């Protein structure tokens, strides 16, 4: 399981548990809070009514006096109230009064007059000078019922002139009267709780995605480095940026050490041949001055061999340094549009002395002329020069080389540079290896091998530009080398 998914699931569990706990606590507090508010109101109401009923109770007219008439008239009143969106048309109060023995003397509902209520907590506790209240089933049976089917009873004492409790007035109200308010509050709490949960999960999902993206970029970068590919450090933020820079620094240092070790090994290996030839020629020239005379022709031949091998060593070192510079670069620092016409002209000028020496011609064709290619002008020029010089090594004396620019058949955003010759072509066994470092084929007419670094340099430049290099046999004889590069834009039309 990926770390981003693990983080998201852990965050989801934490948020879900927190939301569930909060919802349970909050919802659990809504109903008791409403009931407590209603009980507080009933306490005030019971005491006010107890004061109003005192005179009629003392005079013995609690069931037929003015207080009783006004309370009974309450049930016929249209309240016409609208409380926070809920209509209230009638009163749900029930008021009853008991004497000092707990016998009901007045009941606004008119049903329990004469009944003994002394056992009910509201009456029992109040007669003893304590706060009396109870919540009982609406049918008065005392059996278990749901909270919405219960009635809250709150009592207040009725006192005589010397403060002695002579009766109890109880105000009762069904708990169901507050149920709409409770249900609405619970719905609001749950709805907003779900909204907050959703927002929290979206934030968690975004955070997990960001974390996974940062780690995924660094992981792909590490895999690319391990595979020896060119890879740019991904853009990161915070600690991930610091981690990425640390990985890149470590990579550069490790690659630097390995690169030096590898190049020292290959360079010393390739230098053994020219050095052996130079040493042998020098020893023969030295011996000729002491042991036996040497003809001028042999002396010139050995001196020429020393010069040729020295040139080969110098060329190898120069090309190896150029190749090392390209291989060590992970990307082009400042790529820009490179006009094609000046690029081709520069290649022709650079190769002119070499082509003139071998009596070769360079023909430039632009069937579809791109205005520019995207990349590094210096590296592209060197790559094309290498292709032309490689073709010149195999082309017959007096023949023509062709340097042409065409549109890529596979992509309209690419341009293909081709160098064609009429030499012997490439042996089948050598085609897969022509771009390997230090791999070189024997030249026609006994010419010495090249350094084997030119085509490798071309391949590295192509890769650095996001393109590719290829070498194949040409129809009718000869070879064709291709350098595929991204183009900025084209002018002209295909023939």
Condensed to tens digits (0 to 9), the pLDDT of residues 184-199 reads 777 877 787 778 778 8
The pLDDT of residue 335 is above 50: yes
Tokens of 174: 């069904």
Residue 138 confidence class, pLDDT cut points 50, 70, 90: confident
Minimum mean pLDDT range among 54-68, 356-370, 385-399? 356-370
Give the per-residue pLDDT at 446.
53
Give the per-residue pLDDT at 80.
72
Query: Between 87 and 3, where is the model more confident?
Result: 87
C-alpha 484/C-alpha 407 separation (Å) is 9
The residue-averaged pLDDT of 402-429 equals 85
C-alpha 248/C-alpha 230 separation (Å) is 12
Give the per-residue pLDDT at 160.
92
C-alpha 430/C-alpha 422 separation (Å) is 18
The 8-class DSSP code of residue 141 comes to S
Residue 492 confidence class, pLDDT cut points 50, 70, 90: very low
C-alpha 147/C-alpha 10 separation (Å) is 38
**82, burial (CB in 10 Å: exposed 0-12, middle 13-18, buried 19+):** exposed
The residue-averaged pLDDT of 231-237 equals 65
C-alpha 436/C-alpha 423 separation (Å) is 21
* Contact indicator for 393, 399 with CB cutoff of 8 Å: no
The pLDDT of residue 64 is above 80: yes
**374, burial (CB in 10 Å: exposed 0-12, middle 13-18, buried 19+):** buried
Give the per-residue pLDDT at 490.
45
Q: What is the pLDDT of residues 48-63, one digit of tens each?
A: 999 999 999 999 999 9
* Contact indicator for 425, 473 with CB cutoff of 8 Å: yes
Query: Between 57 and 464, where is the model more confident?
Result: 57
* Contact indicator for 45, 93 with CB cutoff of 8 Å: yes
The pLDDT of residue 1 is above 60: no
Q: Please, what are the domains in the chain?
A: 3-184 (3.30.450.20), 236-331 (1.10.287.130), 334-495 (3.30.565.10)
Using a cut of 0.85, tell me whether the model's pTM lies above it: no
Residue 67 confidence class, pLDDT cut points 50, 70, 90: very high
Beta strand 81-83 with 150-159 is unpaired
* Contact indicator for 361, 485 with CB cutoff of 8 Å: no
- For the chain, the average pLDDT equals 77
The pLDDT of residue 82 is above 70: yes
Residue 155 confidence class, pLDDT cut points 50, 70, 90: very high
Give the per-residue pLDDT at 34.
76
In what helix (H) or strand (E) does residue 174 lie, and over which residues does it extend? strand 165-174
Residue 410 confidence class, pLDDT cut points 50, 70, 90: confident
Q: What is the pLDDT of residues 287-328, one digit of tens each?
A: 665 555 667 676 676 677 677 667 656 655 665 565 555 555
The residue-averaged pLDDT of 13-39 equals 74
* Contact indicator for 16, 228 with CB cutoff of 8 Å: no
The pLDDT of residue 476 is above 60: yes
Contacts of 206-211 with CB under 8 Å at 24 or more apart are 207/7, 207/8, 207/11, 208/4, 208/5, 208/7, 208/8, 208/11, 209/4, 211/3, 211/4, 211/7
* Residue with tokens 């650095």, as numbered in its chain: 464
């Amino acid at each position: 399981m990926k770390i981003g998914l693990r983080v998201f699931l852990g965050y989801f569990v934490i948020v879900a548990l927190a939301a569930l706990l909060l919802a349970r606590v909050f919802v659990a507090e809504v109903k008791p809070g409403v009931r407590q508010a209603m009980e507080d109101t009933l306490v005030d109401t019971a005491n006010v009514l107890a004061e109003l009923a005192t005179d009629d109770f003392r005079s013995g007219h609690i069931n037929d006096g003015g207080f009783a008439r006004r309370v009974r008239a309450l049930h016929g009143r249209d309240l016409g109230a609208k409380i926070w969106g809920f209509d209230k048309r009638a009163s749900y109060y029930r008021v009853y009064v008991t004497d000092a023995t707990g016998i009901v003397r007045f009941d606004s509902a008119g049903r329990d007059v004469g009944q003994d209520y002394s056992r009910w907590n509201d009456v029992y506790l109040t007669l003893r000078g304590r706060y009396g209240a109870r919540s009982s089933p609406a049918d008065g049976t005392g059996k278990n019922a749901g909270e919405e089917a219960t009635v809250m009873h709150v009592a207040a004492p009725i006192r005589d002139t010397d403060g002695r409790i002579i009766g109890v007035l109880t105000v009762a109200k069904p708990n169901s009267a507050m149920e709409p308010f409770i249900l609405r509050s619970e719905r609001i709490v749950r709805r907003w709780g779900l909204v907050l949960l959703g927002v929290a999960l979206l934030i968690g999902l975004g955070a997990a995605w960001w974390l996974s993206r940062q780690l995924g970029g660094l992981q792909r970068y590490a895999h690319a480095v391990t595979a020896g590919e060119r890879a740019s450090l991904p853009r990161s933020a915070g600690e991930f940026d610091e981690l990425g820079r640390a990985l890149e620094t470590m990579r550069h240092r490790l690659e630097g050490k390995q690169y030096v070790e590898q190049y020292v090994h290959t360079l010393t290996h390739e230098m053994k041949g020219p050095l052996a030839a130079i040493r042998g020629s020098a020893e023969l020239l030295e011996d000729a001055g002491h042991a036996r005379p040497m003809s001028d022709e042999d002396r010139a031949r050995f001196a020429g061999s020393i010069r040729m091998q020295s040139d080969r060593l110098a060329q190898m070192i120069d090309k190896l340094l150029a190749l090392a510079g390209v291989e060590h670069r992970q990307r082009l620092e400042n790529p820009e549009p490179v006009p094609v016409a000046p690029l081709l002209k520069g290649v022709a000028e650079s190769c002119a002395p070499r082509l003139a020496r071998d009596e070769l011609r360079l023909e430039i064709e632009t069937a579809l002329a791109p205005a520019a290619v995207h990349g590094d002008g210096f590296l592209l020029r060197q790559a094309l020069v290498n292709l032309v010089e490689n073709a010149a090594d195999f082309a017959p004396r007096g023949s023509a080389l062709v340097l042409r620019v065409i549109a890529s058949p596979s992509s309209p955003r690419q341009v293909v540079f081709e160098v064609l010759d009429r030499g012997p072509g490439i042996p089948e066994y050598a085609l897969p290896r022509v771009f390997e470092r230090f791999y070189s084929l024997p030249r026609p007419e006994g010419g010495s091998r090249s350094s084997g670094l030119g085509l490798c340099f071309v391949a590295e430049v192509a890769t650095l530009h996001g393109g590719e290099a290829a070498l194949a046999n040409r129809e009718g004889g000869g070879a064709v080398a291709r350098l595929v590069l991204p183009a900025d834009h084209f002018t002209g039309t295909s023939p």
